[in-house]
Amino acid sequence: MGNIADLDTSRHRASRVTGETALALEAYSFWFKPQGGQPEGPAALDDVSFEVEAGSFVLILGRSGSGKSTLALNLVGIYPDYFGGRNQGLMRVRHPERGLINRRELEAAERFKLVNMLFQNPEDQIVTLTVEEEVAFALENYLFPPQEIHRRIDRALELVGLSGLRQRETLHLSGGEKQRVALAAMLALEPSVLILDEPTSNLDPAGTAEVLATIDHVRDELGLTVMVVEHEVDEVFDRVDSVLLVEDRRVVGPLSPREFIASRGLQIRDEMGLWIPQASEVGLELERAGIELGRPVPLNGPELVTGVERLGLRFSARKEPRVPSRAASEASPEPAIEVRNVSFSYGEHAVLKNVSFEARRRELLAIVGQNGSGKSTLASLFNGIASPDAGTVLVEGVPTGEYEFAHLAKRVAYIFQVPEKQFVCRTVFDEIAHGLRALGMSEARVEERAVEILESVRLLERRDASPYVLSHGQKRRLSVAAMVVGKPDVVVLDEPTFGQDFHQARNLMQLLRDLADDGAAVVFITHDMRLVAEYADRASVLCRGEIIFDGSPDELFAAREVLDRAKLKPPSVYEFSAKLIGEPVLTTAELVKRIQEAARGPRRTVV
């Protein structure tokens, strides 16, 4: 690949970086507070040194459990000031009047005014009844006079584009709006550095776009330094100025995004388990296959398209029609779940309106749609958690109302988005054994089978641990395994890959694929279009309580009207592959294959 420094075509980079240091760590280490008389463990952050330039946009990356949140909470001062622990080394922050100073010289309240943080779930930090009060809350605590509070509320709401919602009750905001209100509440304090912990992880594509556009706007207006912890890198990677990699309790960087991708290559995905932008993934896969693009690794679709065009490849139309989806080719024609003209309301609010659809055995069905479109409600009807106001839900041809709840729950395994909510036993082993005992197995057989299952989900070494102390990925695997031990007819998952790194997500989706291949109907609710493109056999789109589309992912991404109406967005590979080879493909693997095929054929002359 070419010279890294000669290229910078990213959308927003570098325009606001001032050259001054906003935040600096020098030989900084942190140890958690030992629990219950235990000796102090190894440092959670070990000898960390880096500087962040004022006005820059920094992405903090690292595999699940690597310490990204610990780093963020140390930067804010929650650790060790509020939750204990010990630190050593130096952390300096830029004070508007005093310049770069040691953070210890400031009182705790002052520290939060300089470096502040937005948590992953906005609902965790909304503590008042209206938008106006929410934005005012911190200002009131910091003793701002009322006139100044009003001025800052106006300014903060204008920055996040919510001026019209000042009097709105926080209860009635959408997910994207709540996140923007929480952001406005932080911005009202006018901090120098704002840290965002996965700000888009709970949001649909439209909400994600809203929040990212807001961050861009805020940076333009205020010159704010923003540090973001994010798994979903496709949308942010070419927006950021630099990357900090949290790895083995240390922090590498800051590196420019291109430098980071170029130096680590596919190791980022394959060994570190991190998501990388699809355009970069294609570029690196081509490089691995010996196809040089003649320029630095691409960070976005346009860069990849320019790079590949230089090769002068000729792409022929697909020889055979696209392989029909498994839904069409292999899925059982008999539906495992059939929803007929179902309506459902919460009080006067109609959530589902005359919905009809079906889930078939041996099929991975994705249910997609905006936040609040009724996806989770629809899924809750499958196993009788809720009953429809009108219409019928049939499981294996029998209305759900005719099943005994416990029996239906065994046939339709519903797996919550938050795994902790479904643990009912004290140990990992018992979680699995619980389902096996329900099948009437002998204790010896339960022991044998539970060990097999724990081994298959790589949890055998944690068999005696409490389910609550596992890592997020482990909890998710355990929650799925515990629910499918009884070989249910239908498996329903709410956001299966939420908060998971690349490897965890892949393993989980493979597990679901195996379940479908064994004959189950697998239904998953997701906002992740990459997941839909790569794994779903069929997708159903819910929009304001109505099914507006039912078909293959290919057909879905081609249906612009549906995407616009449901505010969905195809994965980036679908967009740039159309420009690159003349027709869209769903996955990076398919695109790489097409480029490799073209590279073996005749080439055009490139002027």
Partner 1 sequence: MAHVELSFKKGNSLFHRMTPGSKLLFVLSVSFVAIFNTNLYVGAGLFLFCLLLALFCTGVPFKQYWALGKIIVPFVLILAIVFPFFYGGQATVGSDAIALRTPVKDLSWGALGFGALLGLRFLALGLAGLAFAFTTHPSDLVQNLSRHGWDYRLVHAPVLGLILFPSFLKLGQEISVTQRIRDLGQNTNWLKRKWLRVRHLAFAMLVLGLRNGQTQAMALDIRGYGAYKTRTFLREVPRHRAGEIFAWVFFVLSVIYLFMQFNPANMQWNMQF
475 forms bridges with which residues in the sheet?
A: none
Instruction: Single out the residue of 572, 424, 403 nearest to residue 488, CA to CA.
Output: 403
CB 275 within 8 A of CB 231: yes
Least separation in angstroms between residue 590's CB and partner 1 is 38
Does 128 bind partner 1 (CB under 8 A)? Our answer is: yes
Distance CA 568, CA 572 (A): 12
Binder among 72, 126, 274, 509 for partner 1 (CB under 8 A):
126
Q: What's the rounded Cα separation, in Å, for the pair 187 and 118? A: 10
Task: Return the number of the residue (349 or 600) whose C-beta is nearest partner 1.
Answer: 349
**Per CB under 8 A, 32 contacts partner 1:** no
Using CB under 8 A as the binding rule, the residues of this chain from 40 to 79 that contact partner 1 are 73, 76, 78
Other Cβ atoms less than 10 A from the Cβ of 328: the count is 13
Is the CB of residue 444 less than 8 Å from the CB of residue 450? no
Q: Which of 209, 216, 210 is nearest to 177 (CA)?
A: 210
Provide the Cα torsion 201, 202, 207, 209; round to 10°: 0
- State yes or no: residue 423 binds partner 1 (CB under 8 A): yes
Interface with partner 1, residue 116, by CB under 8 A: yes
Quick one: which of 516, 497, 498, 517 has its CA closest to 508? 497
348 binds partner 1 (CB under 8 A): no
Range in contact with partner 1 (rule: CB under 8 A) among 34-42, 118-126, 313-321, 497-505 = 118-126
Using the rule CB under 8 A, is 410 a contact of partner 1?
yes
Per rule CB under 8 A, is residue 174 in the interface with partner 1? Answer: no
Residue 160 interacting with partner 1 (CB under 8 A): no
Q: Are 499 and 121 in contact (CB under 8 A)?
A: no
Nearer to partner 1, 27 or 127 (CB): 127
437 binds partner 1 (CB under 8 A): yes
**Which of 20, 40, 105, 123 touches partner 1 by CB under 8 A?**
123
| Residues 331 and 350: beta-carbon distance below 8 Å | no
Site stretch for partner 1 (CB under 8 A), options 16-24, 316-324, 335-343, 417-425: 417-425
CB 386, min distance to partner 1, A: 9
Binding mask 447-486 for partner 1 (x = CB under 8 A): ---------------------x-------------x----
Residue matched to tokens 């099929």: 363
Q: Which residue from 378, 375, 363, 377 is spatially nearest to 512, judged by alpha carbons?
A: 363
β strands within 126-221, DSSP E? 193-197
One of 26, 100, 125, 506 touching partner 1 (CB under 8 A): 125
Applying the rule CB under 8 A, the residues between 525 and 544 that interact with partner 1 are none
Shorter beta-carbon distance to partner 1: residue 163 or 306 = 163
| 421 near partner 1 (CB under 8 A) | yes
Q: Which residues contact 95 (CB under 8 A, 6 or more apart)?
A: 101, 106, 114, 192
Cα distance between residue 562 and residue 544, in whole Å: 12
Closer by beta carbon to partner 1, 267 or else 387: 387
Q: Using the rule CB under 8 A, which residue among 3, 36, 143, 319 binds partner 1?
A: 143
- Interface with partner 1 by CB under 8 A: which range of 41-49, 249-257, 297-305, 431-439? 431-439
CA distance 283 to 303: 10
Identify the bridge partners of residue 338 per DSSP, sorted by sequence position.
358, 394
Which helix H or strand E contains 570, and what residues bound it?
none
Query: In the stretch 183-222, what mask flags binding to partner 1 with x, by CB under 8 A?
Result: --x---x---------------------------------
How far apart are alpha carbons 179 and 120 in whole angstroms? 9
> Per CB under 8 A, does 315 bind partner 1?
no
Residue 137 binds partner 1, judged by CB under 8 A: yes
428/547 with CB nearer partner 1? 428
Cα separations in angstroms, 35 against 31, 43, 97: 12, 14, 40
Residue whose CB is less far from partner 1, 91 or 282: 91
Q: Does 443 bind partner 1 (CB under 8 A)?
A: no
Region binding partner 1 by CB under 8 A among candidate stretches 41-49, 277-285, 413-421, 588-596:
413-421
User: Which is nearer to partner 1, 424 or 444 (by Cβ)?
Assistant: 424
| Stretch of residues binding partner 1 (CB under 8 A), selected from 107-115, 515-523, 534-542, 552-560 | 107-115
- The CB density around residue 401, as the number of other CB atoms within 10 Å, is 11
Candidates 317, 424, 606, 607; binder of partner 1 (CB under 8 A) is: 424
Q: How far is the CB of 425 from partner 1 (least distance, A)?
A: 9
Which of 27, 108, 213, 289 binds partner 1 (CB under 8 A)? It is 108
Cβ pair 412, 488 in contact under 8 A = yes
Residue 105 Cα distances to 101, 108, 264, 315, 587, angstroms: 7, 9, 38, 63, 52
Q: How far is the CB of 148 from partner 1 (least distance, A)?
A: 9
Q: Which segment (88-96, 121-129, 279-287, 496-504) binds partner 1 by CB under 8 A?
A: 121-129
Q: Are the C-beta atoms of residues 569 and 555 closer than 8 Å to each other?
A: no
**Taking the CA atoms of the chain, what radius of gyration do you get in angstroms?**
25
Alpha helices in 518-571 (DSSP H): 529-535, 553-558, 560-566
Instruction: Check residue 146 for interaction with partner 1 (CB under 8 A).
Output: yes
Cβ contacts of 555 within 8 Å, gap of 6 or more? 549
Give the SS3 label for residue 505. helix
Q: Does 498 bind partner 1 (CB under 8 A)?
A: no
403 binds partner 1 (CB under 8 A): no
How far apart are alpha carbons 184 and 158 in whole angstroms?
A: 9
Give the span between the Cα atoms of 295 and 289, in whole angstroms: 16
Q: Which is nearer to partner 1, 117 or 233 (CB)?
A: 117
**Options 38, 171, 290, 560; binder of partner 1; rule CB under 8 A:** 171
Residues in Cβ contact with 7 at an 8 Å cutoff, skipping those fewer than 6 apart: 258, 295, 296, 303
| Minimum distance, C-beta of residue 352 to partner 1, in the bound complex (Å) | 18
Specify which residues 225 forms β-bridges with. Answer: 193
Alpha carbon of 219 to those of 155, 188, 193: distances in Å? 14, 14, 11
Regarding 105 and contact with partner 1 (CB under 8 A), the answer is no
In the complex, the residues that contact partner 1 under the rule CB under 8 A are 73, 76, 78, 82-83, 108-109, 112-113, 116-117, 119, 121, 123-129, 132-133, 136-146, 149-150, 153, 169-171, 185, 189, 383, 385, 405-406, 409-410, 414, 416, 420-424, 434-435, 437-438, 468, 482
